[in-house]
């Protein structure tokens, strides 16, 4: 997981995780977005998602405001990796 997601703003108390994913085609981008949205809806947790034709950027904030990221946040990020 560490090689994919970047903790922000600093390593010792990150407040959010970011990941950029690139795809070869728009169809692949849409397929991933569909799985991602289904998963977010099931979990009722909604990261900030940006996308274009062949990329998706994800920003995952700590579940609790003003708290550092915890194991549940990393597990959520890892589950998104599993959608790829």
Name the one range near a second copy by CB under 8 A: 3-11, 13-21, 39-47, 68-76.
Answer: 39-47
Measured CA to CA, the distance from residue 45 to residue 25 in angstroms comes to: 27
Query: Would you count residue 43 as binding a second copy (CB under 8 A)?
Result: no
Nearer residue to a second copy within complex by CB, 3 or 44: 44
Q: For residue 68, what are the CA distances in angstroms to 48, 51, 60, 79? A: 17, 26, 12, 19
Query: Would you count residue 47 as binding a second copy (CB under 8 A)?
Result: yes
Query: What is the binding site for a second copy (CB under 8 A)?
Result: 26, 30, 33, 37, 41, 46-53
């Amino acid at each position: 997981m560490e090689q994919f997601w970047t903790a922000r703003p600093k390593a010792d108390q990150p407040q959010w995780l970011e990941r950029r994913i690139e795809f070869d085609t728009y169809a692949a981008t849409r397929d991933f977005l569909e799985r991602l949205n289904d998963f977010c809806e099931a979990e009722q947790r909604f990261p900030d998602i940006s996308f274009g034709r062949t990329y998706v950027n994800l920003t995952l904030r700590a579940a609790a405001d003003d708290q550092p990221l915890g194991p549940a946040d990393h597990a959520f990020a890892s589950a998104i990796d599993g959608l790829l």
